[in-house]
Amino acid sequence: MRKFLAVIIFSFLFNGISFSNEKVWSYEGKYLTEECFVNEWISSDNFEEFYDRYSPAVMEAYNSITSEMSDKQKINFFFQGIGNYYVKYIPLDEKFEA
């Protein structure tokens, strides 16, 4: 039983080390940062700013889907499919300063 627990503990330790790289997602030498999604500010200003910057282009591109949505539905549509908009509508290496 001790050997089994030791194997599990070591596997978690080594997996944690291998996934601790800050630049997880890359595309053509640029990296997608995780600050604005993982660390939501208490005020949520980073999410609001991100939406204000990039949603107009996305909503225009997906106008056939979003034209009859409420504002709340548009926000959900944007953030639930955010991975689809990178590179074309949202630049990589995006960071928000406090």
- Report, as an integer, the average pLDDT of 19-38: 59
pLDDT tens digits along 37-88? 556 677 777 788 888 988 999 999 999 999 999 999 999 999 888 888 888 8
CA distance 4 to 44: 43
| Total number of domains in the chain | 1
Residue 30 included in any domain: yes
| Per-residue pLDDT at 21 exceeds 70 | no
Residue 13 included in any domain: no
Residue 42 included in any domain: yes
Residue 31 included in any domain: yes
For residue 42, the enclosing domain spans 22-98
Residue 93 included in any domain: yes
Residue 6 included in any domain: no
Residue 95 included in any domain: yes
| Per-residue pLDDT at 18 exceeds 50 | no
